[in-house]
Amino acid sequence: MMNKFINGLVKFVDGDFTISTKRKAKPARRHTDHHEPTFKERFTQWHDEKGPAFFKAAYGIASIVICLTMITILLITASFLPEYGNPDNPVNNEVSERYIEKGLEETGSVNIVSGMILDYRAFDTLGESHVLFTASAAVMLLMKKEKKGKEVSDKFSPKRDIIVKTVAQFIIPFLLVYGVYLMLNGHLSPGGGFSAGAVMGAALILFSSAFGYKKIKTVFTEKFIKIVTLASLLFYAGIKCYSFYTGANHIPTGIPLGQPGAILSSGLILPLNIAVGLVVTCTMYSFYSLFSKGEI
Amino acid sequence: MGPNLLNNYFETAAMILFGIGFTTLFLQPNLIKKVIGLNIMDSAIYLFLAAKGYIDGRLAPIVVNGVTDMEAYINPIPSGLVLTGIVVGVSVTAVSLSLIQKLYKEYHTLDMDEILTKVSKEGDH
């Protein structure tokens, strides 16, 4: 049904030049026949000649009207929203109160957001990691070259520009160290697995574009990335299985929360941050790699 | 109109950005620009959520000096939601860009109208 409708729409839009040549013969025939065009014929003629332009204009006007209406409705809604920055807003209810007041005590994490997403709502974060993994699998499915065994030519490899190379030499170690810092300090300071993964993925992408595909392939082969991603996801899932099992049966987990503020504290949040960071790093790099050369 | 249109300037900006993204999605025939519009909409949502979580004069939700009082920190929940949004946005962008690249290899154009035209011509015979 939908397909038919789209096809009809396309034919309607695509009236352009092929049909207008057909139309040129028509007036002559009409003169010889003395045939008065019926309303239906006149409509088809108008439809074929003016239809595409009319439809384009109508589509443009209709979409502008729809968009302006939507912006107006949204702005009116925004004007009725509770005041910005007011502590009495309905958003600041008992849920956030509970997270802030009990978060440090229950998760051991100084960073309350980190404690929230990797302890109270760790299942949600597991889903997020799987979303990334699924996206990279889908991209691999779509972008991977069909011909196997053929070596990727260096034709599309980035030019080994001396400026990029020198700057990359200086900046990549710092980027990697900063990424590791963010990953290991996710429970103590702003940061965490996702941002660390983005930073480290950026470092890998820079390395790949500065030094070519061959150098990065000494470590980051397809197999390595697959193993790291799957191992991290399995580790995450297994560790959460354990904590759900113990939590549901009211058994103590036996994982010490440690001193708040120390680097080895807050129980499972540190290893989970590392797992998430590795998944995100591998996904970011594999996106770049698949888009640029069609394989990892 | 309500009283808070100019007080809620972050929310207002988020709504306008969302509208810009939505309009881009509607009016641009180029598929890459449609993805850009989608990303602008994403960013508008992040801005909106971040603005919802903010409370005047309070700190980021990282415990300092052991103070675990609700009066000291902003709302941590919208921050977590923004994180989810960013991840999903990145994934959607990557998958749609790879689909677009496939379409370009097949039809040699990024214009959606032209692609639909070619699809319908292929369907005719």
Bin A149: left if φ > 0, else alpha if -120 < ψ < 50, else beta.
Answer: left
Reported as a single tens digit per residue, the pLDDT across B18-77 is 999 999 998 888 999 999 999 999 999 999 999 888 888 888 888 887 777 778 888 888
The answer to whether position B4 is within a domain reads no
pLDDT greater at residue B7 or residue A22? B7
Query: Contact A63/B86, CB-based, under 8 Å?
Result: no
Task: Kindly list the residues from chain B whose CB atom is less than 8 angstroms away from the CB atom of residue A91.
Answer: 52-53, 75, 77-78
Predicted confidence pLDDT, tens digits, chain A (296 residues)? 556 656 655 555 554 444 444 444 445 454 555 677 788 888 888 877 877 788 888 888 998 999 999 999 998 988 888 888 888 888 888 888 888 888 888 888 888 888 888 888 888 888 888 999 999 999 988 888 766 655 666 666 666 678 888 999 999 999 999 999 999 988 888 888 889 999 999 999 999 888 887 888 888 888 999 999 999 999 999 998 888 888 888 888 777 777 877 778 778 888 899 999 999 999 999 999 888 877 77
| Domain of residue B21, residue span | 9-124
Task: Compute chain A's Rg from CA coordinates.
Answer: 30
Distance CA B120, CA B125 (A): 9
Task: Kindly list the residues from chain A whose CB atom is less than 8 angstroms away from the CB atom of residue B83.
Answer: 113, 117, 128, 194
Task: Kindly list the residues from chain A whose CB atom is less than 8 angstroms away from the CB atom of residue B94.
Answer: 135-136, 139, 287
Q: Does B106 touch chain A (CB under 8 A)?
A: no
DSSP string, B101-122: HHHHHHHS--BHHHHHHHHHHH
* B 16-55 → A contacts, CB under 8 A: 16, 18-19, 22-23, 26-27, 51-55
State how far residue A258 is from chain B, nearest Cα, in angstroms: 14
Query: Contact B68/A96, CB-based, under 8 Å?
Result: no
Are A20 and A1 within 8 A, CB to CB?
Answer: no
Please count the residues of chain B: 125
Distance CA A45, CA A98 (A): 70
Q: Which CATH number characterizes residue B108's domain?
A: 1.10.287.3510
For residue B14, what pLDDT band results from cuts at 50, 70 and 90?
very high
The answer to whether position B69 is within a domain reads yes
Task: Kindly list the residues from chain A whose CB atom is less than 8 angstroms away from the CB atom of residue B28.
Answer: none
Q: Please report the ipTM that was assigned to this predicted complex.
A: 0.86
Query: Contact A91/B53, CB-based, under 8 Å?
Result: yes
| A35 half-sphere exposure, CB direction, 13 A CA radius | 12
Query: Contact A104/B9, CB-based, under 8 Å?
Result: no
Q: Select the residue of B23, B70, B117 nearest A10 (Cβ to Cβ).
A: B117
Are A251 and A101 within 8 A, CB to CB?
Answer: no
Backbone angles phi, psi at A85, to 5 degrees: 80, 10
Distance CA A281, CA A202 (A): 8
The answer to whether position B104 is within a domain reads yes
Number of domains making up chain B? 1
Reported as a single tens digit per residue, the pLDDT across B65-108 is 777 777 888 888 888 889 889 999 999 999 999 999 888 988 88
The answer to whether position B45 is within a domain reads yes
